[in-house]
Structure 1
Amino acid sequence: MMGLVSVQGWTLVMNLVNVFILYIVLKKILFKPVKEFMDNRQNNITQSIEEAQRKNKQADAIKLEYEQRLLALEQEGREIIKDASKKAEDRANHIVDEAKEEAQRMIKRAQEEIKKENEKATHTLKDEMTSLIMMAASKIIDKELKEEDHQKLIQEFIHEVGDAKWQN
């Protein structure tokens, strides 16, 4: 019986030639397209990875830009609130100042009214004193007085009326 592999001269050479021809045919038909497919696939994967990395970098840059914008907006919001608070405080101070000025004007008017009322009271008092003096004078005229009696009447009158101020 002969085995599958026999070491006969021509058969071995023919087997070697067949394996070589099969290798060349497979190389042309199968290996080359498979190698090209694998190279293309590897290039596509590499490009996809590079594209993903590029997009990640862009996304990071956009994220950083948005974070900076957000910080700027927050700062702007704080500034707006600060300005509004300052304006409100200024307005409140202005209102308080106006109220103080109005109070001062009212006090001044009240003082002027008091002064006028004092003057009016003084004039009324003067008029009443004049009336009293006239009555006293008429009594004096009705009665003849001596110098002592005259001085006595004046002293009594002054004592009764008190030391009123006759001048403003």
Structure 2
Amino acid sequence: MKKMIALLSPVVVTIATAVHASEAGGHEQITFLGDWLPRLVNFAIIAGVVVYFMRKPIRDFFRNRSVEIAKAMQESKDARERAVAALAEMERKVKDLQAEMDRMVEDARVRGEQDKQSLVEEGRKMVSDIDAQVKQGVELEVQKARTSLQAEASTLAVDLAEKSIKETIGAKDHERIVKEYIAKVGGKG
């Protein structure tokens, strides 16, 4: 770049000098030989010098630029291929993730059904156990009530028999029964 500036500086100075020298105030008559020919010759010389000295840098610039453009295009192509591959990979992962989510939902549904069945079975077992306990408790209470009723009935029967005997047996009968009992037991009467 510095080399190019160094080469173009004299050209710019020459052009500026030519422009300043050609300032005539507009009073001259313009002719091809008098006005345009020196300018064209000057331009041809300057263009020849520029082409002579700048030919290799310009050629290298455009050659390098072509190489850089080709390299950039290749990098762009490679980047596009990587992006397409990454997109395909992500799409595959999304599909796999969707399949995994579907599988997890199905597993959760099956597990929920199993839990539901086990809870229903457990509930039935608990109802059956409670029913058995209630029946056992009822049977125990019925047995207690029977025993209590039998004891009370026995007591009432004894009381009624005693009362009935007291009413029907007089003093004579009482003495006779006592004597018979003593005789049976083995005593003297």
Same fold (TM over 0.5): yes
SS of equivalent to 2:169: helix
Say which of 156, 159, 167 aligns to 1:132. Answer: 167
Give the C-alpha shift of residue 104 in structure 1.
Answer: 0.8
Say which of 133, 137, 141 aligns to 1:98. Answer: 133
Extract unaligned runs of 5+ from structure 2.
Answer: 1-58, 174-189
Give the C-alpha shift of residue 60 in structure 1.
Answer: 1.6
**Match for residue 118 of structure 1?**
153
Give the C-alpha shift of residue 26 in structure 1.
Answer: 8.8
Partner Cα separation in structure 2 for residue 34 and residue 76 of structure 1: 61
* Shift >3 Å, 4+ stretches: 24-33
Identity %: 8
How does the TM-score come out when normalised to structure 1?
0.56
1:105-164 Cα distance to aligned partner (Å, 9 max, x none): 1111111122222222222232223223322966xxxxxxxxxxxxxxxxxxxxxxxxxx
What is the 5 A alignment of 1:10-21? none
Extract unaligned runs of 5+ from structure 1.
Answer: 1-23, 139-168
Aligned AA (2:148)? E
Aligned AA (1:75)? V
The structure with higher relative contact order (CA 8 Å, sep 6+) is 1
Identify the range of structure 1 (129-138 vs 95-104) with the bigger mean alpha-carbon deviation.
129-138
Aligned AA (1:94)? D
How does the TM-score come out when normalised to structure 2?
0.51
**Match for residue 11 of structure 1?**
none
**Match for residue 47 of structure 2?**
none
What is the 5 A alignment of 1:1-168? 28-135=63-170
What is the Cα-based RMSD across aligned positions, in Å? Answer: 2.9
